[in-house]
Amino acid sequence: MIGWLGGAYLWVKAFHVIFVIFWMAGLFILPRYLVHHTATVPGSPEDAEWIKREMLLRRMILNPASILTWALGLCLAGSLGFDYPWLWAKFGFVVLLTGYDHWAVATSKKLARGLRPYAERRLRMLNEVPALLIIAIVIMVVVKPS
């Protein structure tokens, strides 16, 4: 039993990992959607399809998964205690990942309004940000460097 979660700790941890996987799936696919959406003509039928896909992805996967990941993660951290340097580093990377999520969602909304703020090449490069951040997060959680 760990902290105030007691016997529920492992259940909370399991659901935290599940929702992290869902969130990451959304963060891996949305940037790829943005690359393809950028190549469409604003107002075209294809543009409308990308707008619909992105909206559904945000509503059905990204938003719920990110909220539940944060909520469950904060429960775990509160139960474990905040006295660990690796945990603060993890939080820092998760904040960056959340910022990336917000940027990607904002970009999809700009594309829905007909704007094309980024070139395809730049979006392809930014595609890799979630992978780099999740590598750092997993290292913090598994290795727990001090």
pLDDT in tens, 78-110: 999 999 999 999 999 999 999 999 999 999 999
Cα Rg, the chain, nearest whole Å? 17
pLDDT at 70 (0 to 100): 98
Q: Is the pLDDT of residue 2 over 90?
A: no
Per-residue pLDDT averaged across 11-25, rounded? 98
Distance separating alpha carbons of residues 107 and 51, to the nearest angstrom: 11
Q: Which residues are annotated as a binding site for heme?
A: 16, 90
Q: Which residues are annotated as a binding site?
A: 16, 90
The type of residue at 127 is N
Confidence of residue 74 (pLDDT cuts 50, 70, 90): very high
Whole-number average pLDDT of the chain: 97
Q: Is the pLDDT of residue 146 over 90?
A: no
- Between 85-112 and 63-80, two packed helices, what is the crossing angle to 10 degrees? 170
Q: Is the pLDDT of residue 1 over 90?
A: no
Residues in Cβ contact with 22 at an 8 Å cutoff, skipping those fewer than 6 apart: 61, 64, 65
Measured distance between the N- and C-terminal CA atoms of the chain, rounded to whole angstroms: 24
Q: Is the pLDDT of residue 76 over 80?
A: yes
